[in-house]
Amino acid sequence: MISPARRAAIACTCALMLVATAQAQGSSAGECRQGVLALMVMIDAEEHDKSHYRSTVASVVETCGPPGAPAKPASAPSPFDKAACGKLALAMLDSIEGSKLDNPQFIGARDEFAGKCVGR
């Protein structure tokens, strides 16, 4: 079993790698996969309130797949839903495993993740 500190270190390393390699036109499926896996580790470790989580979310949302719809501002901040965000991250990963960053399932999961799982 991996300790929480080690998981956080792995997630932070993955997040930094993703941010460093993200391109303006978009990331490759491999880079997006790394970013989503890092998000899943951070969600599991309940690190949604950390800056490295927010920067990884921004990198994944802004560089993976075609440009998405602008995020709609929430009328009132809602509490972070670990289960829902984990499911959305898994849905993104499942779509990436097929190397399909432009399919509707990935785009829908990514856009919903952007609206609900940004962290605080």
Domain boundaries, the chain: 4-116
How many residues are recorded in the chain?
A: 120
Q: How far apart are CA 78 and CA 116, in angstroms?
A: 8
Q: Is the pLDDT of residue 57 over 90?
A: yes
| Encoded tokens for 43 | 């969600």
pLDDT tens digit sequence for 1-50: 667 666 655 655 655 454 444 444 467 888 999 999 999 999 999 998 99
pLDDT tens digit sequence for 67-88: 865 555 555 567 889 999 999 9
What's 2's DSSP letter? Answer: -
Q: What is the per-residue pLDDT for 11? A: 57
Describe the crossing of helices 51-63 and 104-116 by its angle, rounded to 10 degrees.
150
